[in-house]
Amino acid sequence: MKDGFIKVAAASPKLVVADCEYNTAEIMKLIGQADEKNVKVLVFPELCITGYTCGELFMQELLLTKSEEALGYILENTKHTEMVIVLGMPLMVANSLYNVAVFCQGGDILMVLPKSVIPNYQEFYEGRYFSKGVEVPYGITLCGQETMFGTHQIMVCDTIPELLISGEICEDMWVPDSPAVSHVLHGATLICNPSASDEIATKSAFRNKLVSIHSAKLVAGYIYADTGMDESTQDLVYSGHDMVAENGKILAESELFTTGLTIADIDIKKIAAERRRMNTFANLTGGVEDDDAYIYIPFTLNIEYTDIDRSFSRLPFVPSDDVKKNKRCEEIITLQAMGLRKRLAHTGCKHTVIGLSGGLDSTLALLVTVKAYDILGYDHSDIMAVTMPGFGTTDRTYQNAIDLANALGTTVREISIVDSVRQHFADIGQDENEHDVTYENAQARERTQILMDIANKTGGLVIGTGDMSELALGWATYNGDHMSMYGVNASIPKTLVRYLVRWYADNTDEKTAKVLYDVLDTPVSPELLPPKDGQISQKTEDIVGPYELHDFFLYYMLRFGYPPSKIFRIATLAFEGDYEKEEILKWMKTFYRRFFSQQFKRSCVPDGPKVGTVSLSPRGDLRMPSDASANLWMKELDVTIS
């Protein structure tokens, strides 16, 4: 449970309809297996102690008596575990029969939630037996224990404040205003659903979508435990379709017509972070106005380090679904292009100016600009691609810039910066043989001056090429290459830039693709230092670190507010076999140091379109002070990761 990861499971036991003793034995087997796997929240199906399809037998006193005895046996034999166990059973309360979920831990009943929505249509006849659950909780006695009965209850973990558990039962989820909506508005972050959903053709796919969307709408973890194939098949078939979801993502899902455990780790702190960003949900102190007060039941889980049964994408900004790859890439480039389209239409500009280096960022910026021109019906020749060779330019990047501009039908202009920079060196007293930051930045600023002045001369706009990863690290020359009139790549991290260019290459003509593939094979470099033997001598990732690591750090820091210790932990899992822990730690320190110290460069970035969930715009997603200290983050790296 360290770092907010809660190991949970949905269970579909083998059962015999109306045989409480057999069912209890099978339930205990799965409890034992879950305990061995360190599961902390275990959910069984609806009416699992008796079986869901008992029909008229629910009216039999013997079945109800044996069901309560079975619960008592389970409580007695689970005193040793801190696992929260959710069991389904029929229960008589105040002369009415209810379909309930019993939440228990360590042999104690913590709360009893009745089913709210009782189906009574077609071949379902729950309404023949069960009453609709009451909302306002009141005290009852069950298995000799005093507990509370009613839907408006939430369990609160005193050791993990973000973990608040409640539940709903099967049909409750399928209605427009499910009980879980009220639960989460009162603070619940994990919803347990003991269910018994019959299986018909195509229903499993719909059920999957429903659980996914429901958990997304709730911004919650969701455990859906479905009764299995051993139910009576007199009229219907049941499949044991278990799922664990987290805020719209199915983390784990069982095969149909199987029994056993479906285990996943829900990141409860991630859910809390999402809610902080949304500012939609009320917390325990109130904020929801209704007449039916909730009650909160405390429980405890020991904080301990457990293995995580979930994977983390090495490239969180990059689409992972190959089937949807083409659509996603086209969507992203179209979003970039539509932002530029609006700026061009608003300003009345038909001319744009791009500094084309032969590198990835300027390549993507040119592709996006061409797309915007196609949308507007403008001629590509009104795009001026300016290549400005300097002291570090290699023949390879120079030729790629020329070839790409020609392949796309843009106007090409070559302006060497060597003489003008040398004159500037003489003016300020800079030794050309001193390859320091002044040597490098003077070249970047000279290029920006050229682009700006050409834009003025042509009545056009300078299109920015810098990407989000460079902004995060401050790997840009202030008032140089980080300045433009519209930055189309401002919210595109380096790993995504590479992905988009490759997608474009895979879907364009042979001539353009040939250039793009060579650009992709070229090392990332600002090319500000002289080449060695005609080859690039200044490789960015050798200096600031691998962009795939920095993009990983950036995503989890800004998207979910993870602390460095948690990011380090999941990074070691995601990049296992490629980077040693020491190397990951080294580049994490570089990332945090640069991210905090370079905010001043982000505070004045030009306009640019947001295309994903993370952006560094000072006008939107990152209103961060330029003088904030990184001490807390750096100290955690030194202390926690040691």
Residues 233 and 345 in one domain: no
Q: What is the structure's pLDDT at 611?
A: 93
Asked if 548 is an active-site residue, the reply is no
Is residue 281's pLDDT more than 70?
no
Residue 601 domain-assigned?
yes
**Domain with 508 in it: what CATH number?**
3.40.50.620
Which residue from 88, 86, 72 is spatially nearest to 31, judged by alpha carbons?
86
Residue 590: CB atoms within 10 Å: 17
Residues 189 and 108 in one domain: yes
Burial of 399 from C-beta contacts in 10 A (0-12 / 13-18 / 19+): middle
Is residue 283's pLDDT more than 60?
no
Which residue from 633, 550, 632, 541 is spatially nearest to 591, judged by alpha carbons?
550
Confidence of residue 287 (pLDDT cuts 50, 70, 90): very low
Residues whose CB is less than 8 angstroms from the CB of residue 319 and which lie 6 or more positions away in sequence, other chains included: 325, 328, 329, 499
Residues 136 and 68 in one domain: yes
- Phi, then psi, of 593 in degrees rounded to 5: -60, -45
Confidence of residue 140 (pLDDT cuts 50, 70, 90): very high
For residue 116, CA distances in Å to 14, 127, 151, 219, 312 come to 26, 11, 8, 21, 37
**380/386 Cα distance (integer angstroms):** 14
Give the domain-ending residue among 299, 333, 352: 299
Residue 211 domain-assigned?
yes
Residues 356 and 271 in one domain: no
Confidence of residue 29 (pLDDT cuts 50, 70, 90): very high
Q: What is the structure's pLDDT at 282?
A: 53
Tokens 């907010």: give the residue. Answer: 4
Which pLDDT tens digit goes with each residue over 205-221?
999 999 999 999 999 99
Give me the long-range contacts of 521-526 (CB less than 8 A, separation at least 24): 522/358, 522/359, 522/360, 522/396, 522/397, 522/400, 524/359, 524/360, 524/494, 525/359, 525/392, 526/392, 526/440, 526/444, 526/481
Asked if 46 is an active-site residue, the reply is yes
For residue 111, CA distances in Å to 31, 130, 151, 327 come to 19, 19, 9, 47
Q: What are 452's two structure tokens?
A: 């700006």
Q: How many folded domains does the chain comprise? A: 2
The H-assigned helical ranges of 166-248 are 179-185, 203-218
Catalytic residue among 115, 371, 589, 601: 115
Percent of the chain having pLDDT more than 90? 86
Residues 98 and 197 in one domain: yes
Which DSSP string corresponds to 120-142? Answer: -STT--GGGT-PPPPSS-EEEEE
Which pLDDT tens digit goes with each residue over 558-570?
999 999 999 999 9
Which pLDDT tens digit goes with each residue over 324-379?
778 889 999 999 999 999 999 999 999 999 999 999 999 999 999 999 999 999 99
Q: What is the mean pLDDT of the chain?
A: 93
Which pLDDT tens digit goes with each residue over 567-603?
999 999 999 999 999 999 999 999 999 999 999 999 9
Q: What is the structure's pLDDT at 320?
A: 79
Residues 343 and 435 in one domain: yes
Confidence of residue 122 (pLDDT cuts 50, 70, 90): very low
Q: What is the structure's pLDDT at 348?
A: 95
Q: What is the structure's pLDDT at 290?
A: 53
Residues 238 and 344 in one domain: no
Beta strands in 158-259 (DSSP E): 164-167, 190-195, 221-226, 243-246, 249-253
Q: What single letter denotes the amino acid at residue 16?
A: V
Which residue from 469, 621, 618 is spatially nearest to 559, judged by alpha carbons?
621
Of these ranges, 212-216, 274-278, 285-289, 531-535, the one predicted with the greatest mean pLDDT is 212-216
Which residue from 218, 220, 222 is spatially nearest to 207, judged by alpha carbons?
222
- Region 460-466 average pLDDT: 97
Percent of the chain having pLDDT more than 70? 97
Is residue 6's pLDDT more than 50?
yes
Beta-strand relationship, 153-157 and 190-195: unpaired
Instruction: Give a three-class secondary structure readout of 554-589.
Output: HHHHHHHCCCHHHHHHHHHHHCCCCCCHHHHHHHHH
Q: What is the structure's pLDDT at 324?
A: 77
Tokens 């369990």: give the residue. Answer: 155
Residues 368 and 484 in one domain: yes
Q: What are 366's two structure tokens?
A: 């040119």
To the nearest 10°, report the CA torsion of 156, 157, 160, 162: -20
- Region 412-428 average pLDDT: 97
**118/124 Cα distance (integer angstroms):** 9
Which pLDDT tens digit goes with each residue over 522-535?
988 877 788 887 78
Which pLDDT tens digit goes with each residue over 296-336?
999 999 988 778 888 899 999 998 777 777 888 999 999 99
Residues whose CB is less than 8 angstroms from the CB of residue 323 and which lie 6 or more positions away in sequence, other chains included: none
Residues 144 and 6 in one domain: yes
Which pLDDT tens digit goes with each residue over 153-209?
999 999 999 999 999 999 999 999 999 999 999 999 999 999 999 999 999 999 999
Residue 311 domain-assigned?
no
The H-assigned helical ranges of 259-378 are 268-278, 325-347, 360-376
Burial 565-585 (b: 16+ CB within 10 A, else e): ebbbbbbbebbeeebeeeebb
Catalytic residue among 143, 170, 192, 349: 170
Residues 289 and 413 in one domain: no
Confidence of residue 100 (pLDDT cuts 50, 70, 90): very high
Which residue from 229, 217, 327, 320 is spatially nearest to 275, judged by alpha carbons?
217
**119/139 Cα distance (integer angstroms):** 26
For residue 227, CA distances in Å to 144, 262, 501 come to 28, 13, 48
**499/478 Cα distance (integer angstroms):** 27
Residues 336 and 400 in one domain: yes
**364/349 Cα distance (integer angstroms):** 21
Q: Which domain holds residue 451?
A: 322-639
**45/196 Cα distance (integer angstroms):** 6
- Region 54-76 average pLDDT: 96
Instruction: Look up the pTM and report it.
Output: 0.91
Which pLDDT tens digit goes with each residue over 71-91?
999 999 999 999 999 999 999
Burial 607-623 (b: 16+ CB within 10 A, else e): ebbbbbebbbbeeebbe
Residue 309 domain-assigned?
no
Q: What is the structure's pLDDT at 280?
A: 67
Residue 327 domain-assigned?
yes
Catalytic residue among 7, 26, 46, 68: 46
Residue 313 domain-assigned?
no
Asked if 329 is an active-site residue, the reply is no
Which pLDDT tens digit goes with each residue over 260-270?
999 999 999 99
For residue 393, CA distances in Å to 76, 115, 358, 361, 433 come to 76, 71, 10, 16, 17
Residues 244 and 385 in one domain: no
- Region 118-144 average pLDDT: 85
Residue 432 domain-assigned?
yes
For residue 499, CA distances in Å to 28, 33, 264, 472, 548 come to 49, 43, 30, 19, 12
Beta-strand relationship, 383-387 and 164-167: unpaired
Q: What is the structure's pLDDT at 641?
A: 64
**Domain with 231 in it: what CATH number?**
3.60.110.10
Confidence of residue 60 (pLDDT cuts 50, 70, 90): very high
CB 13 within 8 Å of CB 259: yes
- Region 401-420 average pLDDT: 97
Burial 7-40 (b: 16+ CB within 10 A, else e): bbbbbbbbbebbbbebbbebbbebbebbbeeebb
CB 469 within 8 Å of CB 547: yes
